[in-house]
Structure 1
């Protein structure tokens, strides 16, 4: 169930964010939110690349608390940076929830 919740929050829930908050341009916003999943490319620098019981938060360099500060800063910039910030912060929230469920 944890895996389903994790991937639903990463791939499914951004649709609801885009549709509710940016109804007129929801398709573009959804694409941007999904594109923020590229933040997981930092997993490629870990050894091993994938470990099922590893918490991403504060382990991978784009998942650190310092990176979170940058992501919050994006919220104060105009679109599309604000949308990118929303996507990255929601991604971190999802990963944090995943860590809590471990």
Structure 2
């Protein structure tokens, strides 16, 4: 329970830190865009159970797959997609660290 709570908290805090450091002039909007990328977790609705605190989502959920992560990384080079892409990559990195915790 505590691990899950910390994980969810990091999904809000880490984008905030990245926004303050990399997007100083527009950090609030950058943070908001990156936090909104949490909608990527909609793919959890395809799983049964929807939430399993001991499941590694990377490679399990379609929007958390290797090809999806590569697409997020490539999208960083497109200026209009940069913020959501960074948010998605942060999300995947945090979920990857969570996989280390549950393995």
Give the TM-score taking structure 2 as reference length: 0.92
Query: When the two structures are aligned, how many residues end up with a matched partner?
Result: 101
Say yes or no: does 1:6 pair with 2:7: yes
Deviations 1:42-70 (A, max 9, x none): 00111111112111000000000010111
The answer to whether the Cα contact below 8 Å between 2:15 and 2:35 also exists between their aligned partners in 1 is yes
| Counterpart Cα distance in 2 of 1:7 and 1:50 | 13
| 5+ long unaligned stretches in structure 1 | none
Say yes or no: does 1:96 pair with 2:89: no
| 5+ long unaligned stretches in structure 2 | none
Distance 1:13 1:100, change over 3 A: same
| Counterpart Cα distance in 1 of 2:89 and 2:66 | 11
Would you identify which runs of 4 or more consecutive aligned residues in structure 1 move more than 3 Å? none
1:1-102, aligned counterparts within 5 Å? 1-79=2-80, 81-102=81-102
- How much does 1:13 deviate? 1.5
| Counterpart Cα distance in 1 of 2:9 and 2:51 | 19
The answer to whether the Cα contact below 8 Å between 2:43 and 2:63 also exists between their aligned partners in 1 is yes
| Counterpart Cα distance in 2 of 1:53 and 1:4 | 13
Give the TM-score taking structure 1 as reference length: 0.93
| Counterpart Cα distance in 2 of 1:48 and 1:42 | 12
